[in-house]
Amino acid sequence: MDASKNLFFNDKWKDIIKNGSQKLGIDLDNSQIDLFSSHAAHLYLWNKTINLTAIKDPEEMALKHFIDSIALILHINKDSKILDIGSGGGFPGFCLKIIYPDLDIVLIDSAKKKVNFLKDLIRKTSLKKIEAMHVRAEDLCNDLLFYGQFDYVVSRAFSSLEKFYLLATPFLNEKGVILAMKGQVPNEEIKQLKSMNKFNASNMIIESHSYKLPFTDIERSIVKIS
């Protein structure tokens, strides 16, 4: 574990997280930055035996996983209940929890090994009001404990907007919002979603918010369906 800690518990890596977040308009304290370091070190360690991420360079991980996930916090209220579908290595759900500790978050993934990682990460960091479940969204929506219970349903590079919309809507409460993290604004996917009869009947509205990852020219976007 020491080797992985050395890669992430150092001033250079922490500065990327701190300064990158500031460029997005988000200020992190030292305890939050330490939690991001713990998350990254644990991800790096587990990734040696199971495939959690293809990105292995620490600085690239900081930008493309952590800073990218942090960007979503600008669209979320502090005391919300959130479902993260296809959370994988904890993105974006676990990162959101670090910034807003009062969030109530459920992380789900269909890959048991990834859920085992998330459960171990939750144990290691001792965060409360966050759980990881090995389940498919299609099955979980039949559980009345989860149906219509969430303020936000989020995902990061999970599926097409059309598929994500159909998976997410059963979980939303009356004022619930879907937030899909994408690369460049997915105009074709937005067009396809708008053409769906079910979507039009819902009277929901689509907005897209684009940004560049700090220190790069990489374009990212967040599609908001409310």
Number of domains in the chain: 1
Q: Find the length of the chain.
A: 226
pLDDT computed for residue 102 by the predictor:
97
pLDDT computed for residue 2 by the predictor:
60
Low-confidence ranges of the chain (pLDDT < 70): 1-2
How large is the angle between the packed helices 30-46 and 112-125, nearest 10 degrees? 140
Range of the domain at 106: 2-225
55 in Cβ contact with 68 (< 8 Å)? no
Q: Which helix (H) or strand (E) holds 46?
A: helix 30-46
Q: Summarize pLDDT for 119-156 with one digit per residue, the tens.
A: 999 999 999 999 999 999 999 999 999 999 999 999 99
**What pTM was estimated for this model as a whole?**
0.95
pLDDT computed for residue 208 by the predictor:
97
Q: What is the CATH number of the domain that holds 47?
A: 3.40.50.150
pLDDT computed for residue 1 by the predictor:
47
